[in-house]
Amino acid sequence: MTSIPVQAPRRPVDRPRVEELTRELLLALGEDPDRDGLKDTPRRVADWWGEFLDHDPGRLTTTFQTRQYGDFVLLTGIEAWSVCEHHLLPFRLDVSIAYVPDSNVLGLSKLVRHLEAHTHALQLQERITHDVAHDLAKAAATDDVAVFTAGEHLCMSMRGIKATSVRTTTMCRLGRTESDPDLAARIERLALPVRA
């Protein structure tokens, strides 16, 4: 099995340079960057890239001690956006995250913050799914973690094949969420969307 490479830390966005390059792009596309509708576009594009890529997900480590919980915690209906590193086009993910707490439970918002820490980047859906599962396993001090993502990729629906109804599903199941068939089935029944 091929491992999914972990992304290296990146430098902050150089907003003045992005603004300059966006202006050049508009010219290369045959547009007039000085016309009314485009005058502020280079600045807005640079601001957006800065907000998106320099995003701070906040504190990731809040845990609460608990007695043995005994069953899984599952968050569903999480929506996240990222940008495809191959085409620089957005993709939207519907995400479900499950884990079986040991002696600590994570603050629920921390599950989403771990996801945000990975989606605010030039990314691959497969890498997000893998890295979030492994990060949560460390944060929750349990190997019993599962992450499911269903993605709609604009690089497939807007260009190339133009397949607008296609959804890509990836999952990473660790520990008992993979090895215990009963636990895996119960989580999947609740985590994966039902197709009509």
> Which pTM value belongs to this model?
0.87
Helices marked H in 29-157 — which ranges? 41-53, 108-119, 125-140, 154-157
Distances (CA, A) of 112 to 10, 15, 20, 77, 163: 22, 27, 34, 11, 29
* Tens of pLDDT, residues 65-101: 666 667 899 999 999 999 999 999 999 999 999 999 9
What are 27's two structure tokens?
């010219």
Class of domain 63-191: alpha beta
Q: Is the dihedral of CA 186, 191, 194, 195 positive or negative?
A: negative
Report which residue type is found at 62. T
* Tens of pLDDT, residues 11-60: 899 999 999 999 999 999 999 999 999 999 999 999 999 999 999 888 77
Question: Among 127-136, 159-168, 174-183, 187-196, which stretch is predicted with the lowest mean pLDDT?
Answer: 187-196
Beta strand pairing call for 63-65 and 104-106: antiparallel
Give the residue extent of every domain in the chain: 15-53, 63-191
